[in-house]
């Protein structure tokens, strides 16, 4: 899909920022402490209050007539489907276009419709009913398999045939900036006869891309790979926190449970899939060729540069910025998002508006492109430099993990903002 780099907003936007007119991500916010939650879009360093422009009669169309932006989440808006999303996106872009600021003086406004983004409280933008986490990065799966099973048996026989995933816990998904309490559970040392109970000693992050279901499917009706993009509203950054020592003890035979259910952080802005279409690229080749129901239909790998940085407690006290420890790209995923969604529904499983699906940890080929501490420190054997002379095998209390994602090309730069989380003690 072409992108016009010359389109500008009357709201100033930094060329190095994340939120130009070509982005217009959706979020939910409180304009003041205790105020009702509002739905908005980010533009530059501002947030446009979509309920306010609807009430003033400035924004029209299906989203206005259904009062979809008056709810505390975007779920009602998701139910309008691709035509409703496209209509609202075009109308909002026209409102914010350069030379079209006169509507701000409309006497029907009872309060300013544009807010300082740094001054509002951002909350979860979507009511997430179900959450599914995939394991779609070949490099990540290979690294983890090598650690636990050896290089000769790194990828299990089914991995190149099946997009592996598990059902996660929606109730513990939190918005960026929320603290993450160190979980406790059973962990067993390799040389111990029995497990012990206590706080995890191997707390980790996982760098992922999440995508929000916009249009669901009826129970018993699979979604094909070709149809899958029409069911995806947009994407967020995901940090799926993990307790590796708890995970190592519990994951056989059924997989992650308590090691993953305590917290999953997401970025507060949902970047519409429409904004990401210009950044589609060919995905890595698949060998063997997938079964017919998983055959690729076009390019659905997304060229999104992903960074992870850590700000330690000592670093923040000393005024040091977060230290980047990893950079990778979502385009390296072996299974693309259309294949993941199609596989999820092939049994007839019904997805619903607001469901969150995530890719699993995204890692690249280089040592500094690994998307978890487990890989970066190679199971704790090679501690990672986090700046100021500090090193980490796994996360310590007071560490803040900061993830960012950006797309650059076609004369524009857009991004997801950040997903942040600080570890507090058990």
Predicted confidence at residue 336, as pLDDT, reads 98
Same-domain check for residues 87 and 158: no
Angle at the Cα of 33 from the Cα atoms of 263 and 420, rounded to 5 degrees: 30
Using the 3D structure, point to which of 123, 145, 162 is the last residue of a domain.
123
Domain that holds residue 377: 131-424
Q: How many domains does the chain have?
A: 2
Predicted confidence at residue 1, as pLDDT, reads 54
Predicted confidence at residue 110, as pLDDT, reads 86
Handedness of CA 155, 157, 159, 165 (dihedral sign): negative
Confirm whether 391 is domain-assigned.
yes
Same-domain check for residues 98 and 205: no
Phi and psi at 270, nearest 5°, equal -95, 110
Q: What is the pLDDT of residues 257-294, one digit of tens each?
A: 999 999 999 999 999 999 999 999 999 999 999 999 99
Predicted confidence at residue 199, as pLDDT, reads 98
Q: Which residues contact 171 (CB under 8 A, 6 or more apart)?
A: none
Predicted confidence at residue 287, as pLDDT, reads 97
Using the 3D structure, point to which of 86, 103, 123 is the last residue of a domain.
123
Q: How far is CA 138 from CA 54, 143, 302, 347, 349, in A?
A: 46, 8, 16, 24, 25
Confirm whether 194 is domain-assigned.
yes
List of the chain residues with pLDDT < 70: 1
Catalytic residue among 140, 231, 323, 343: 140
What is the spatial distance between Cα 112 and Cα 336, in angstroms, rounded to a whole number? 41
Same-domain check for residues 34 and 135: no
CA dihedral of residues 51, 56, 57, 60 (deg, nearest 10): -20
Same-domain check for residues 58 and 200: no
Confirm whether 68 is domain-assigned.
yes
CA dihedral of residues 107, 113, 119, 124 (deg, nearest 10): 150
Using the 3D structure, point to which of 70, 96, 123 is the last residue of a domain.
123
Same-domain check for residues 333 and 277: yes
Q: Is 115 a catalytic residue?
A: no
Same-domain check for residues 158 and 294: yes
Same-domain check for residues 261 and 115: no
Same-domain check for residues 119 and 163: no
Same-domain check for residues 293 and 144: yes
Confirm whether 155 is domain-assigned.
yes
Predicted confidence at residue 111, as pLDDT, reads 87
């Amino acid at each position: 899909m072409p992108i016009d780099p010359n389109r500008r907003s009357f709201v100033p936007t930094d060329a190095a920022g994340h939120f130009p007119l070509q982005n217009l991500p959706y979020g939910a916010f409180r304009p003041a402490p205790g105020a009702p939650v509002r739905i908005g879009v980010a533009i530059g360093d501002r947030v446009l209050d979509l309920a306010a422009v609807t009430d003033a009669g400035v924004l029209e169309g299906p989203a206005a007539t259904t009062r979809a932006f008056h709810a505390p989440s975007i779920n009602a808006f998701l139910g309008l489907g691709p035509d409703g999303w496209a209509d609202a996106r075009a109308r909002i872009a026209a409102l914010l276009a350069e030379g079209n600021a006169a509507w701000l003086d409309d006497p029907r406004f009872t309060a300013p419709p544009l807010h300082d983004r740094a001054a509002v409280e951002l909350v979860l933008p979507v009511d997430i009913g179900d959450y599914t986490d995939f394991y779609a990065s070949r490099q990540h799966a290979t690294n983890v398999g090598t650690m636990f099973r050896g290089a000769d048996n790194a990828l299990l026989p089914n991995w190149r045939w099946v997009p592996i995933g598990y059902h996660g816990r929606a109730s513990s998904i939190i918005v960026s900036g929320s603290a993450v309490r160190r979980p406790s559970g059973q962990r067993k040392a390799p040389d111990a006869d029995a497990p012990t109970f206590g706080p995890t000693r191997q707390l980790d992050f996982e760098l992922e891309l999440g995508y929000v279901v916009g249009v669901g499917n009826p129970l018993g009706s699979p979604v094909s790979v070709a149809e899958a993009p029409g069911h995806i509203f947009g994407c967020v950054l995901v940090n799926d926190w993990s307790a590796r020592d708890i995970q190592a003890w519990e994951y056989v035979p059924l997989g992650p449970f308590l090691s993953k259910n305590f917290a999953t952080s997401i970025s507060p802005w949902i970047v519409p899939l429409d904004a990401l279409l210009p950044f589609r690229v060919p995905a890595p080749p698949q060998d063997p060729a997938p079964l017919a129901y998983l055959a690729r239909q076009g390019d659905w790998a997304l060229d999104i540069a992903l960074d992870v940085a850590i700000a330690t407690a000592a670093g923040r006290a000393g005024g040091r910025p977060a230290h980047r420890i990893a950079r990778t790209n979502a385009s390296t995923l072996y299974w693309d998002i259309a294949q993941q969604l199609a596989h999820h529904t092939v049994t007839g499983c019904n997805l619903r508006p607001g469901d969150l699906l995530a890719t699993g940890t995204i890692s690249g080929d280089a040592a500094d492109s690994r998307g978890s501490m487990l890989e970066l420190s190679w199971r704790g054997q090679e501690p990672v430099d986090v700046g100021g002379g500090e090193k980490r095998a796994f996360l310590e209390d007071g560490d803040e993990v900061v993830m960012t994602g950006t797309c650059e090309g076609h004369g524009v730069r857009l991004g997801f903002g950040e997903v942040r989380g600080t570890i507090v003690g058990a």
